[in-house]
Amino acid sequence: MPLKFLVDTHTNLCIKCKACEAICKNYNEVPTGIYRIKVISIKEGEPGQLNIPMPCMHCTDPPCLKVCPMNAISKRADGVVLVDKDKCIGCGYCAYACPFGAPQFEGSGAFGSKGKMDKCTFCVQPYNQKDDGRLITKEPVPRCAVVCPTGTLLGGEITEINREFRKRVNSYMSKGLIESMFMV
Amino acid sequence: MAVSSLKLSRRDFMKVTAAGVAVATGLLRYAKNNNFIKKAEAASVEEAKKEGAELVKTVCIYCAVGCGILAKVKNGHLVGIEPWVNHPINGGKLCCKGASINHTVTSPRRLRYPVIKRNGKWERISWEEALDTIAKKMMEIREKYGPDSVFFAGSAKVSNEAAYLQRKFMAFWGSNNVDHQARICHSTTVAGLGNTWGYGAMTNNFNDMRNSRVIFFLSNPAEAHPVSFRHIFEAKQRGAILICADPRFSRTAAVSDIHLQFRTGTEIALIWGIAHEIIKNGWYDKDFVEQRTHGFEEAKKVIMQYSPEVAEDITGVPASLIRKVAYILATNKPGTIQYAMGATQHEYGSQNIRSFAILQLLLGNAAQPGGGVNAFRGHDNVQGATDMCVLSHTLPSYYGLSESAWKHWANVWNVDYEWLKSRFQSKDFMEKKGFTMSRFSCGVLAGTDAFPVCEDLTIDQPNNIKMIFMWGHSTPALGDLRYVKKAFESVELLVFVDPFVESGAALADRPDGIILLPAATEFEGSGSVTNSGRQIQWRNKVIDPLYDSKPDVWILINLVKNLDKYDAGIYRKFTKNYGYKTPEEITPEDVLDKEILVGARAIGMIGQKSSRLKKQQDYDYTFDPEDCRAKGGPCDGEYWGLPWPCWNEEHPGTPILYRNDIPVWEGGHDFRVKWGTEYNGISMLSGINGHDQATVDDVVWSKNLETDYKEILDQNMVPSGRGRARFYAWNMKDTVPVHREPIYTPRKDLIDKYPTYDESVYGEFHYRVPILSRVLQQACKKVNLADHFPLAWTSGRQVEHQGGGAGTRANKILAELQPEMYAEINPKDANDRGIRDGDLVVVVTPRGLEYGAGVAKVVCKARVTDAVPPGLVFLPFHWGGVFQGKSYLDRFPVIDDMDTRPLVAGDSANISNCPGWDVETQMQNIKSGICDVMKFIEFKEPSGLEETMDIIMAEVRKKMKG
């Protein structure tokens, strides 16, 4: 079954502690200025503020893969979407295609000298996968999801995280029901 | 209100649903331990093995949650970290600071070897020379000015053993001028909670918060203690209501159900508004109040003066919201109160904390799982360092400074009491409280011409301070930095011991007289650390000290050894209990097992042998995160970290203080009998099974070094007694908390009704310095200071940095995540002043007017945000490297291969805090003040303030002379 991220925006959990950003930079040695995951805030400082960690979602049908003119982007059997830096020409099509802004470029701005695309690898290492026919058997563990103290970011096998998520939503819904009944 | 009509039905409904919640709880716990997480741990261990790396269990060095981290070590190098998934407290969860910790430890910006400043230049010196110079200077000062002319700032960043040795060192040196971060962090907690129910520490622990039905935040744990949210959200999932009281719309407020946006510094009025409603409606726990507390009627008299409407006027929180919160607290039990610096750092900080404790006593939430008052502490070992009492008013384990306390410790140290006394100037000085972190600079500048008012300043010791140690203490955290800077420039020798170059070393603009010693970080040495929940964990050494740095214990014992050259015999006396070993041979285990656990009886730090702590670490997986207790295995029945009181080597520890419904052998406890068994004819013993504190062989329990208390525990008695908690604390300056306006307040109209403390309350000298309070408030009113400074000022934290930021600002990941100091300002105030987001601004406050230095300025970027309400300005305090807009990065040591400048720098917020010192503990006020913000390019010194300054100074002078 495929590996996925699931970001819980349903229940406003993220406290923007940026553990995901820090562990990602630490573990994957991401260069300065690149954020393979970044916490964004909606309505910051107002009631209803929502913080959302945004990694690559490793889509089932990734638009970046479709638009890439060099076929540099691939989806592994376990669902992880990776980019081959040897093939990438830094055109930036993937950045336009991606609805989450996951592709990152070392250069400045989308139109500047961009450099090769860099994005979340689900903590698959080494990053540069040489196509020598060898399958990586080690199951990747996204460190951001492991360290997230609030449980906003779930990562792993899709049925497993779905189950967890469903339970969570149920517990919140019952709480919401009590609150709406008794106007707390 | 509609809710009141539903009161009964709601309660009943909750009872029914409780069963459902319990079922869900079981399932959720299962989900938390799901296969995925298990696999994560297995995978990382396997991966590390394949790489030839080793994973070492250790504890994070930042905040006091006490998160476990696996450090990845390859060929003796720290190459990364992995989550410690079996750790009961954090379960592998980390915040950005913990997640990038290896970059702090291995930062290239660390201080690599001892340096000295000579003729305006930094030079490398050897350890021998550095320690010898310091020892020689110390002895010179001792002979010339007496032992009290040395001020020693200890640390909450070091292990329990190092902190304990710091206090012991100053006791052997013969002065009480020793203090550390706890003074300006949670000293008011110790006074406030200690005077209410006996011990001044967090009553429950982080894991226990998942049992709460309502969590009342009075700080911002989302940014200061992010990993605590592992448990807070667990509680939320089980139906807990989160209420956040904060002047800002913080990240905690963003995830809370209710936000009470009160005016900074008005906690007591807010809490009393809630308590008023609870008492008026009879919602308080009558049985609890009757059987386990004392002085309810006195408290009631005060509380009933603060109706929600009065509270609304003072705090700005709508009365209807206060009523709603009171109802929620009364109908959802147990509930817990959580707080941190926002409540403690006021001139009435002790009273703020007392008001929280009193609210919990009223609700019957005290001494219960899911209840209690949870003081979240700041540094990784600040609880431990406080317990070791690196404090100027007490000896380790809060014995105080009385003759009997000295005799107790002389007994533990195996030295003669008379000899100890001879080390001091006199017996009087031996029992007199020393200078504190908040005001030690007065001890340097009194009688000098540093500032206009200093000439009239007198201190309560014959000679000024001539030498300052800053051992792992940051300067940006100290209030009134201009005064501190002057003090640093006026002493004869400044010694900084720190893994990084602390900003203070560069802040002091002097050509010579500074020595910097490179301490190793806590990853490079071992020792025990106490987290906020009193849980003691063993921190393993991960790597050898980098460069030429040394562990704190080594440095301290070597300093004693060097002193021994000039002060013969002191080394043998100091190391008597460790078998006169050499500094290299003395281990933290020696210090913990042979001295601390023998002497620190008053807090029950007795059974936490290093071997037990290490065993717990090995069998971490047997501990249930639900209650932190081991189920089966070699540690069966023990609580994680053996939280004190842990009465002997078989006791499992006491995770929840004062809980009397379980046997003492299982972690039961009770309110301490500390103020006699009777007050005005009313018994102070618990109404349930009260008894006085125990005596063993005619010696009071806390001073008997022989006993293991087994006989007492077998009778289900608590050695510290089973007493009553106090609503009414007759020994405090305010017997029951009352609202007092901050000294510099934007609400001039409330000054007369709620004045701050009169100077006479502080006495002539308060911790050896005179304190001004009401005279400043009256002057503020007289000259209409609030007209010049119309905005309220407050300070706080950023999630990416900690304390003075020397470590975090030298960490490349954290520096990238948060590269800037800023002032948060509301769009309305910004637009009124023509300030746009990102503009450079000057925050001006009246600090300094009272001693003739003119207004204080902080230059930083503006962050225009709705998170602060109109009329409030917020500054984070972690920054250094810039002073009032002028960079002093060029004064940091840069020698050949070593560049110690922080990666990012900013102006220090605490240049501009407003005056105010707690009447019990001398805590500084760095939370409520007044200020104005101006655009930097349009900035000019505020006009018309000279006259104001003269008026204030005249009042101050009059007071000091009179």
Query: Over 50: is that where the pLDDT of B577 sits?
Result: yes
B864 → chain A, closest CA residue? A45
Q: Whole-angstrom distance between the N-terminal and C-terminal Cα of chain A?
A: 42
Q: Which residues contact B407 (CB under 8 A, 6 or more apart)?
A: B417
B552: three-class secondary structure by DSSP: helix
Query: Over 50: is that where the pLDDT of A135 sits?
Result: no
Distance from CA of B915 to the nearest CA of A (A): 29
Of B720, B627, B535, give the one whose Cα is nearest residue B160: B535
**Both B371 and B386 in a single domain?**
no
**Both B365 and B273 in a single domain?**
yes
Whether residue B17 and residue A178 make contact (CB cut-off 8 A), yes or no, is: yes
**CA B332/CA B317 separation, integer angstroms:** 21
Name the residue range of residue A13's domain. Answer: 3-182
Q: Which residues pair with B843 in a beta bridge?
A: B858, B933
Distance from CA of B69 to the nearest CA of A (A): 11
B663 DSSP 8-state letter: -
Distance from CA of A9 to the nearest CA of B (A): 12
Judged on CB neighbours under 10 Å (0-12, 13-18, 19+), B280 is: middle
Chain A CB contacts of B96 under 8 Å are 17-19, 21-23
Banded pLDDT at B7 (limits 50, 70, 90): very low
ipTM of this predicted structure: 0.90
- Label the pairing between strands B791-796 and B872-876: parallel
pTM of the model: 0.92
Which whole number is the average pLDDT over B397-419?
A: 94
Of B705, B732, B709, B711, give the one whose Cα is nearest residue B720: B709
> Taking a contact as any Cβ pair under 8 Å apart, which residues of chain B between 707 and 766 contact chain A?
none
For residue B200, how many other CB atoms are within 10 A of its CB?
23
Phi and psi for B514 in degrees, rounded to 5?
Answer: -125, 130
Of B67, B55, B58, give the one whose Cα is nearest residue B96: B67
Range in A69-83, A99-113, A160-174, B216-230 the model is least confident about? A99-113
The predicted structure's pLDDT at residue A18: 93
**Both B142 and B93 in a single domain?**
no
Whether residue B39 and residue A141 make contact (CB cut-off 8 A), yes or no, is: yes
Chain A CB contacts of B83 under 8 Å are 143, 146-147
Q: Is B2 on the interface with A (CB under 8 A)?
A: yes
- Count of domains in chain A? 1
Chain A CB contacts of B229 under 8 Å are 15, 17, 149-150
Six-digit token string for B268: 């007591």
Banded pLDDT at B14 (limits 50, 70, 90): very low
* Residue where a domain stops, chosen among B516, B534, B566: B566
Q: What CATH number should be reported for the domain holding residue B871?
A: 2.40.40.20
Of B659, B669, B655, B656, give the one whose Cα is nearest residue B713: B669
**CA B236/CA A13 separation, integer angstroms:** 10
Chain A CB contacts of B207 under 8 Å are none
Whether residue A184 and residue B24 make contact (CB cut-off 8 A), yes or no, is: no
Phi and psi for B122 in degrees, rounded to 5?
Answer: -85, 135
**Both B558 and B483 in a single domain?**
yes
> For B47, which of A16, A138, A178 is closest by C-beta distance?
A138
Banded pLDDT at B12 (limits 50, 70, 90): very low
Distance from CA of B800 to the nearest CA of A (A): 8
Whether residue B31 and residue A163 make contact (CB cut-off 8 A), yes or no, is: yes
**For B596, how many CA atoms within 13 A lie in the half-sphere containing its CB?**
30
> For B80, which of A27, A32, A168 is closest by C-beta distance?
A27
Residue among B100, B248, B864 with most chain A CBs within 10 A, to mutate: B100
The predicted structure's pLDDT at residue A79: 87
> For B227, which of A33, A149, A164 is closest by C-beta distance?
A149
- Label the pairing between strands B115-118 and B121-124: antiparallel
Of B483, B441, B399, B511, give the one whose Cα is nearest residue B891: B511
Query: Over 80: is that where the pLDDT of B724 sits?
Result: yes
Amino acid at B22: A
- Count of domains in chain B? 4
Banded pLDDT at B147 (limits 50, 70, 90): very high
Q: Is B40 on the interface with A (CB under 8 A)?
A: yes
For residue B954, how many other CB atoms are within 10 A of its CB?
11
Instruction: Print burial letters for B635-674: b (CB count within 10 Å at least 16), e (below 16).
Output: bebbbbbbbbbbbeeebbbbbbbbbbeeebeebbbbbbbb
**CA A127/CA A132 separation, integer angstroms:** 14
A3 → chain B, closest CA residue? B36
**Both B526 and B552 in a single domain?**
yes
Query: Over 70: is that where the pLDDT of A178 sits?
Result: no
> Taking a contact as any Cβ pair under 8 Å apart, which residues of chain B between 799 and 858 contact chain A?
799-800, 812-814, 816-817
> For A19, which of B94, B816, B868 is closest by C-beta distance?
B94
Q: Is position B12 within any domain? A: yes
Whether residue B100 and residue A26 make contact (CB cut-off 8 A), yes or no, is: yes
Six-digit token string for B154: 């200890």
Q: Is position B793 within any domain? A: yes
Q: Are B268 and B320 in contact (CB under 8 A)?
A: no
For residue B754, how many other CB atoms are within 10 A of its CB?
17
A164 → chain B, closest CA residue? B31
Which whole number is the average pLDDT over B745-773?
A: 92
Q: Is position B809 within any domain? A: yes
Q: What CATH number should be reported for the domain holding residue A66?
A: 3.30.70.20
Q: Are B877 and B797 in contact (CB under 8 A)?
A: yes
Query: Over 80: is that where the pLDDT of B267 sits?
Result: yes
**Both B484 and B349 in a single domain?**
no
> For A175, which of B100, B239, B816 is closest by C-beta distance?
B239
Averaged pLDDT score across all residues of chain B: 90
Query: Over 80: is that where the pLDDT of B29 sits?
Result: no
Of B52, B58, B50, give the one whose Cα is nearest residue B83: B58
Cα–Cα distances in Å, from B850 out to B70, B192, B912? 51, 29, 13
Q: What CATH number should be reported for the domain holding residue B460?
A: 3.40.50.740
Query: Over 50: is that where the pLDDT of B24 sits?
Result: no
Residue among B9, B36, B93 with most chain A CBs within 10 A, to mutate: B36
The predicted structure's pLDDT at residue A175: 66
Range in A60-64, B50-54, B684-688 the model is least confident about? B50-54
A155 → chain B, closest CA residue? B36
Percent with pLDDT over 70 in chain A: 82
Whether residue B98 and residue A184 make contact (CB cut-off 8 A), yes or no, is: no
**CA B866/CA A47 separation, integer angstroms:** 10
**Both B783 and B910 in a single domain?**
yes
B629: three-class secondary structure by DSSP: strand
**Both B164 and B270 in a single domain?**
no
Q: Which residues contact A78 (CB under 8 A, 6 or more apart)?
A: A2, A3, A139, A140
Name the residue range of residue B910's domain. Answer: 748-961
**CA B597/CA B588 separation, integer angstroms:** 12
**Both B801 and B828 in a single domain?**
yes
> For B233, which of A13, A47, A50 is closest by C-beta distance?
A13
CB pairs under 8 A between A and B: 155
**Both B421 and B458 in a single domain?**
yes
Distance from CA of B81 to the nearest CA of A (A): 8
Q: Is position B439 within any domain? A: yes
* Residue where a domain stops, chosen among B105, B139, B160: B105
**Both B154 and B213 in a single domain?**
no
Distance from CA of A153 to the nearest CA of B (A): 12
Q: Are B756 and B740 in contact (CB under 8 A)?
A: yes
A24 → chain B, closest CA residue? B99
The predicted structure's pLDDT at residue B339: 94
Q: What CATH number should be reported for the domain holding residue B246?
A: 3.40.228.10
Which whole number is the average pLDDT over A50-74?
A: 92
Percent with pLDDT over 90 in chain B: 81
B45 → chain A, closest CA residue? A141
B21 → chain A, closest CA residue? A171
Q: Which residues contact B832 (CB under 8 A, 6 or more apart)?
A: none
Query: Over 80: is that where the pLDDT of B732 sits?
Result: yes
* Residue where a domain stops, chosen among B510, B545, B566: B566
Whether residue B43 and residue A141 make contact (CB cut-off 8 A), yes or no, is: yes
**CA B648/CA B97 separation, integer angstroms:** 36
Six-digit token string for B642: 């053996």
Q: What CATH number should be reported for the domain holding residue B15?
A: 2.20.25.90
Q: Which residues pair with B605 in a beta bridge?
A: B646
Banded pLDDT at B10 (limits 50, 70, 90): very low
Query: Over 60: is that where the pLDDT of B449 sits?
Result: yes
User: Helices B349-363 and B187-197 meet at what angle, rounded to 10?
Assistant: 40
> Taking a contact as any Cβ pair under 8 Å apart, which residues of chain B between 73 and 112 contact chain A?
80-81, 83, 85, 90, 92-100, 102-103
Task: Assign 3-class secondary structure to chain A.
Answer: CCEEEEECCCCCCCCCCCHHHHHHHHHHCCCCCCCCCEEEEECCCCCCCEEEEECCCCCCCCHHHHHCCCCCEEECCCCCEEECCCCCCCCCHHHHHCCCCCCEECCCCCCCCCCCEECCCCCCCCCCCCCCCCCCCCCCCCHHHHHCCCCCEEEEEHHHHHHHHHHHHHHHHHHHHHHHHHCC
The predicted structure's pLDDT at residue B193: 94
**Both B229 and B200 in a single domain?**
yes
Whether residue A45 and residue B6 make contact (CB cut-off 8 A), yes or no, is: no
Which element (helix H / strand E) includes B843? Answer: strand B840-845
> For A32, which of B3, B93, B816 is closest by C-beta distance?
B816
The H-assigned helical ranges of B642-771 are: 710-714, 759-762
Which whole number is the average pLDDT over A144-170?
A: 87
- Dmax over CA atoms of chain A, in Å, equals 63
Please give the sequence-ordered ranges of beta strands (E in DSSP) within B673-744, or none if there are none: 678-679, 682-683, 695-696, 699-700, 725-726
Residue among A4, A5, A10, A17 with most chain B CBs within 10 A, to mutate: A17
Q: B465-510: per-residue pLDDT in tens?
A: 999 999 999 999 999 999 999 999 999 999 999 999 999 999 999 9
User: Helices B308-315 and B267-280 meet at what angle, rounded to 10?
Assistant: 170
Phi and psi for B887 in degrees, rounded to 5?
Answer: -75, 140
> For A22, which of B39, B96, B229 is closest by C-beta distance?
B96
DSSP assignment string, B858-874: EEEEEEE-TTSPTTEEE
Banded pLDDT at B944 (limits 50, 70, 90): confident
> For B96, which of A18, A143, A171 is closest by C-beta distance?
A18
Chain B CB contacts of A157 under 8 Å are 36
Q: B116-129: per-residue pLDDT in tens?
A: 999 999 999 999 99
Phi and psi for A93 in degrees, rounded to 5?
Answer: -60, -40
Whether residue A19 and residue B96 make contact (CB cut-off 8 A), yes or no, is: yes
Q: B31-68: per-residue pLDDT in tens?
A: 344 444 455 556 666 667 777 788 999 999 999 999 99
Tell how far CA B492 is from the center of its chain: 29
The predicted structure's pLDDT at residue B880: 93
Residue among A13, A16, A18, A49 with most chain B CBs within 10 A, to mutate: A18
Q: Is position B285 within any domain? A: yes
Q: Is position B323 within any domain? A: yes
Chain B CB contacts of A183 under 8 Å are 2-3, 6
**CA B22/CA B19 separation, integer angstroms:** 5
